Amino acid sequence: MSKGDKKSKAKPLTGLAAALVKSGHLDESKARELTREQRREEKALGRDGVEQREAERQAALEAQRAAEADAARLRERSRTEREARDRARRVVHDNAHPGGEGGSRRWFFVARGGRVLFLEVTDEVGRLLADGKAGIVEGCEPDAPGAHVVVAGERHLTTLVGIDRDLVRFWNREQA
């Protein structure tokens, strides 16, 4: 070292202040001023005040994490419900029996609102309904006209009951 070089007596910056100075977002004098202010503030608050402030900060972080977790659970639940509705819609659409759209026989059932409704079905569909090999389910839009359709196949009805028990409005099967 030559005589012209001056050694800096100040301690080197550490932590966030050093990183901000190094990246050029903050100059060194401003960083030192901010750390001094922070030390003065902590000294004025005292040990208990600093601990209380830290506890409040931790509580706020925990509350934020809990809110984010609740929001994530809500998003996941709505996604799952949407997927279940789509799956039920596909099952109903793919397995609707054409004999349930008109015929000489009226088949009565109880709708979701407690009203007693009927479908005009063919004799073949009437036998399937009586034997438990078909059922009456709500369609994709429960309030639309023709909202209830006949679905053939016990396996498909079991799938619909697994998705939403209230979708199946009539199914003549033995309850286990």
Q: Tens of pLDDT along 55-70?
A: 899 999 999 999 999 9
Q: Give residue 171's region: left, alpha or beta (phi > 0; psi -120 to 50).
A: beta
Q: Which contiguous run of DSSP H or E holds residue 107? A: strand 105-110
Residue 152 has pLDDT above 80, yes or no: no
Q: How confident is the model at residue 160 (pLDDT cuts 50, 70, 90)?
A: confident
Q: Which contiguous run of DSSP H or E holds residue 170? A: strand 168-171
Residue 1 has pLDDT above 80, yes or no: no
In 3D space, the residue among 136, 130, 142 whose CA is nearest the CA of residue 97 turns out to be 136
- H-only helix segments in the chain: 15-23, 28-94, 123-131, 154-163
Q: In the predicted model, what is the mean pLDDT of residues 26-40? A: 85
Residue 95 and residue 151: Cα distance in Å, rounded?
Answer: 6
pLDDT for the residue numbered 143: 55
* Mean pLDDT computed over every residue of the chain: 82
Asked if residues 84 and 138 have their Cβ atoms less than 8 Å apart, the reply is: no
Could you report the per-residue pLDDT of 93-147, keeping only the tens digit for each?
888 887 777 778 888 888 888 888 888 888 888 888 888 888 888 876 655 555 7
Q: How confident is the model at residue 164 (pLDDT cuts 50, 70, 90)?
A: confident
Q: In the predicted model, what is the mean pLDDT of residues 150-173? A: 84
CA dihedral 29, 35, 37, 42 (to 10 degrees): -170
Q: Strands 134-138 and 148-152, how do they pair?
A: antiparallel
Could you report the per-residue pLDDT of 70-84, keeping only the tens digit for each?
999 999 999 998 998
Task: Give the pTM.
Answer: 0.55
Residue 128 and residue 119: Cα distance in Å, rounded?
Answer: 14
In 3D space, the residue among 142, 138, 159 whose CA is nearest the CA of residue 96 turns out to be 138
pLDDT for the residue numbered 59: 93
pLDDT for the residue numbered 71: 95
